[in-house]
Every structure is written in C-alpha cells, then in structure tokens.
Amino acid sequence: MALNGKNALVEVCNPNVTTPQMLHDAIAATCASGGSFNEGRFFDKLGEKFDYIIEDPSFSACPKLKCVFDKLNDNANKLFCNTMGNFIGTPDFGLKLQVVPNSEQMSGIDGATTRPDPNTGLITMKLNETFVCEEDNYPVKMAGTLLHEAIHAEMYRKALENGLNFLDPDSYAEIWDVNLELKHPDFGKPYSAAQHEIMAKEFVDDIANALFIFNNQKLTVEHYKFIAWSGLSQYGSHLGFVSYYIDEFADKHQELISSSTTACP
C-alpha cells in the first residue's frame, strides 16, 4: 500500500489488525488535532496509537529480500512473528526496513539495527544490498540475517516498553533474566554486547529452528546452526558454546548450501 507515495506500511503475522483500519484511525487523529493534513503529524499520531512497520522504498524495490520477508510472514514463522510481529498493534515504537549500499559503516556487514531515534522512537533495520538484493544470494542466509536483526529490534522495543534504558546492558539482563558475562570492551558497545550475549545464550536454537521451517524442513535443524551462529560466534566462543569459526557446523552448512538454490523457496 502506498503511503504518501513514499512509504509502505506492513503488518506482520497479525490478522487481527488491518492496515486500512490503522491508517484510517491515524488519519482521523491527525485531522482532529489540527485541520490540514501534515505528514509529520500523521506519523506522530500513528506512532502514538500503534506500533508499526514501514517498508522504505529501498526495501520494497529489492524483490529477493521482499520474497524472503513475505515467506517468513506468510508462514507465520514463530520467531519472526514473536519479534517483528510485536511492532504491530500496541502503543509503542515503530520499525523501518531499509536497504542501504555496501559502503561506509555497512561495508561488509549484512545487516544492522539502529538504536531507537530519541525524537521519534523509530528503530531502523538496515540491510546491505550486496547481501540481500543480488541474484546469487541464498534466501536461507538472508532469512538468518532478518531473524537476527529482528531480535535486535525486539530487544530495543522491549526495553522501551518496559521503561528501561536501552543503552544499559543491565536492562536486557533484567528482561531476559540472564547474568551478563561479557563486559570487556573488545565486545563493542555494552548494550550491543548484551544483546548478542543474550542471543548466544537464548536464541540460537530458535533461529536454527526458524530457518529449518523457513527452508521447508530440508535436512536437519543442525544444518542451520552455522547460519544461526553467524554474527554471534565471537560471543559463543567466549562463553564456551562454539568455536570462533563455528567449524563444528561447517560441514553441515556446506551440505545445506550445496543442496540449496538461490531461488526464493
């Protein structure tokens, strides 16, 4: 659905909330609060009344990524719905999905989720066009990136929802009831290290299982652990869960990739 010709609003895994109703209510609220229509005010109202997801045109223009996203959504993939889906339907914060060039801070990085904008509360998930839009990208790897980034987005959202400081690693420890062990500066910004440590401790099996389901239950869940550990192996190896290069899953990963195609499943 075109929104002011620039943005598209999407629902995730929630048939009870319809986009037309959300838009209608936000438009009514915008107009009720001051006459003529104003885009900024519209998004403020939308943000006040609903969680929402905005597909940036760069996201919609990347058919391969859109296909992977839609499959996760249409199949109501449990992990996907429990993370991305939480951006819909309750008064909270928004998420924007954007594709960016493989340069500057995103150089060589397949995805990144920004911390919430202090003015709008908007969280932006940035996906590197080289890793998500090209013909030879494997959908299962792209799904892995989307799921990983969706967990980051949900972690920020949950900290905000609970009125906690999303820059404080202890906020995440409190929400997920874990003891954080990684406080060393080598692990990057403390809140980012906290999010990754919790993923390494709590989410890897969920990611692997979600990918197995996404890929029509091809081979076994173990075959998806290499991808599930991607971006987390530094934390997992520090914690003694896996080796740094995730060698223990390399053969199974190779088997998965050699038996996969780059077509959207």
- Positions touching Zn ion (CB under 5 A) are 231
Q: Which residue is nearest to Zn ion (CB)?
A: 231
What is the nearest approach in angstroms of Zn ion to the Cβ of residue 13?
Answer: 22
Q: How far is the CB of 146 from Zn ion (least distance, A)?
A: 12
The whole-angstrom separation of Cα 35 and Cα 46 is: 17
Residue 45 or residue 225: which is nearer to Zn ion going by CB?
A: 225
Residues 6+ apart with CB under 8 A from 183: 169, 190, 193
Beta strand segments in 41-153, E: 52-55, 94-100, 111-113, 123-128
- Distance (Å, rounded) from C-alpha 26 to C-alpha 125? 23
**Nearest CA among 148, 197, 149, 13 for reference residue 87:** 13
Q: Is 178 helix (H, G, I), strand (E, B) or coil?
A: coil
Give per-residue burial for 116-132: e unless 16+ CB within 10 Å, then b: beeeebbbbbbbbbbbb
Instruction: Give the residue with the Cβ less far from Zn ion, 47 or 231.
Output: 231
- What count of residues does the chain have? 265
Closer residue to Zn ion, CB minimum distance, 94 or 231: 231
Q: Least CB distance from residue 162 to Zn ion, whole Å?
A: 21
**What is the closest distance, in whole angstroms, from the C-beta atom of residue 148 to Zn ion in the complex?**
6
Report residue 218 CA to chain centroid gap: 23
Q: Give min distance, CB of 241 to Zn ion, in A.
A: 16
